[in-house]
Structure formats: structure tokens, C-alpha cells
Homo-oligomer: A and B are copies of this chain.
Amino acid sequence: MIIECIPNVSEGRRQPIVDEIAAAIRRAPGVRLLDYSADPSHNRSVFTFAGDAAGVEQAVMALYDRALAAIDLRTHRGEHPRLGAVDVVPFVPIEGVTMDDCVSLAKQVGAAIADRFQVPVYLYEEASANPVRKNLEDIRRGEFEGLAAKMTSPDWTPDFGPSAPHATAGASVVGARMPLIAYNINLATDRLDVAKKIAAAIRQSSGGFRFVKAAGFKLDDRGIVQVSMNLTNFEKTPMFRVFETVKREAERYGVAILESEIVGLVPAAALHAAAEFYLQLAGFKPEQVLENKLRQAE
């Protein structure tokens, strides 16, 4: 069973504290820290690790332990919006685990955080049963500074923990979501208007695919433009469908696709779905992938 967890912590300037949190995660049994990085201007760090439910929970608790001892949001400044010292904790199903399992884990860990650290916890995305509290941006609106006032409204009673902010650590947003794919398509043109029109055509907010966020950018150094995307559910809005739609929309302007790129990690299943689509594979099963078969036999 593999669950990925990608906590965002409101510390991106004091590297020793970031390193200390990373070391605490690494010590959790069966947990592999895949990546971590700190952004000084955002004053925020992101940790990516994976393991089974028990290991991941232990890593999250160790992270809270270090982060809460070191961070005081009353004096914290940075470009990135934040509600808490540990701002967001998403759990993502990777292998041998369902979304429901990750929702259960989010609730269990959320309750444990509230209990042990007296930090109010809001559930988000798949873990939230409340439609106005699904979206991270909605929960975070007003940030730490506006939290005490926001929490006086019954709409913002947390899912777990005290009904007022933690003095130095604010509140946390804990939940379950699908893996994100950061996916860009570069167009063989320098016409920014084309990239912007295509981005508008494919993103949910303006009528496009349900699980696509997109914007058009100029890549000045290369003299081309890019449709930059986040795919938030590759099962329901697959890469190949987005690619083919961008390609077709670009044709309308006489523009070809130069290349696409995946930024960071991509689940194997997202690539397999593309192979299945283009090769018109019938009756294909994940167990036919040699590596999957090997894992199952372990």
C-alpha cells in the first residue's frame, strides 16, 4: 500500500528548520522522503513523501511537532497565502489503496492533529462532505490574519479541534485528492493570443474540461508560447484527451504543437492510459504491466 503525502509548511527562509522537518519525516518507519524544497519569497516549504497509512501518519505527526515548535504565524511574512504553520496536508492514493482509504486517513490524522496539538482542522477536497468547504482557496480565504473573525461564523466551525485559531499555528487544511499532473503544451508560434484562447477553451473555469486549470504564457527566450496546465484528476480528464483538444484548437489558428512536457512526477497509470488510447488497446489490464505483476507477486 502506497499513499503519497505533500504537506505545505509556512517556513521557507530558515533552512535548518526545513532540514530538521525533512529529517523527522525520514525517521518515520517505512516512509520514503521523495523530495523537499523551500521557497524564501513564499516563505513556504513543500515535502513529498510516501509510505503506508501508519508510516505516513507518523511522519505527519513528527512534522507537526517540529513545525509548531519553530513557527509563529503572528510574525510570519511571505507571498503565498496561508492559514496555518502547517498549512495543507493532502493524502494521495498511489498503489494498492483507494481514494476512500485516503479520505479515512485524512479524517484520522486530522482528528489526531487536533487532539495532540490543539490546532483546528478543516477537511478539504475528497475528504470534505461540505460543498462550500471542498476548495482549498475558499477555506484559506482571509488567511491567518482573518481566521479568528472567520471562525466566529458557524459555517467555519472546524471539522476537528478547538473553534478558535491556535495562537501561533492558526489552523490546518487536511484532505485527500488525486495526484496532480503539471502538464504544459508548447506551441510552434509566438502568438500569445493563441495560447490564451486555447487555455480558455480547455479549462473548467471558462467551460472546458472539469479537471483542468490552464493559462497561456510566452516563453520569451524560445520565441514560443505555452499552454500551462494542472490536471487535477487524470482518470476523469485524461492527458490524451486534453492533448488532442489542444491540438485541434491550435489547428483552427494554423498552429502546430511543438512538444509537451510533464513537470515533476506523473503516475504510471496516466501514461498507460495514453498508450491504451492511441494504440487502441482492447481489454488491457494493469496486471499486464510486467512491473505491476512483479509487485503483486511480492
* Contact surface of A with B, Cβ cutoff 8 Å: 2, 4, 32-34, 50, 94-95, 179, 186, 239-240, 243, 257-262, 264-268, 271-272, 274-275, 277-284, 288-294, 297-298
Contact = CB atoms under 8 A, between A and B. Distances in A.
Contacts of A258: 280
Given A279-B240, A297-B34, A290 B274 contact: no
Contacts of A298: 32
Nearest to A298: B32
B266 A280 contact: no
Interface of A is mostly: mixed
Counted per complex, copies of this chain come to 2
Contacts of A179: 290
Contacts of A264: 288
Given A290-B179, A291-B267, A32 B260 contact: no
A264 B290 CA distance: 9
A291 B262 contact: no
Contact of A240 (B239, B257, B260, B278): B278
Contacts of A240: 278-279
26 contacts: A4-B290, A33-B297, A34-B293, A50-B294, A239-B275, A240-B278, A243-B279, A257-B280, A259-B282, A260-B279, A261-B282, A262-B284, A265-B290, A266-B288, A267-B290, A267-B291, A268-B272, A268-B290, A268-B291, A268-B292, A271-B275, A271-B289, A274-B274, A275-B275, A277-B278, A291-B291
Given A33-B297, A240-B278, A275-B274, A290 B266 contact: yes
Given A262-B288, A271-B275, A278-B278, 5 more contacts: A258-B280, A264-B288, A266-B288, A268-B291, A274-B274
A144 B186 CA distance: 60
Contact of A261 (B32, B50, B272, B283): B283
A32 B294 CA distance: 8
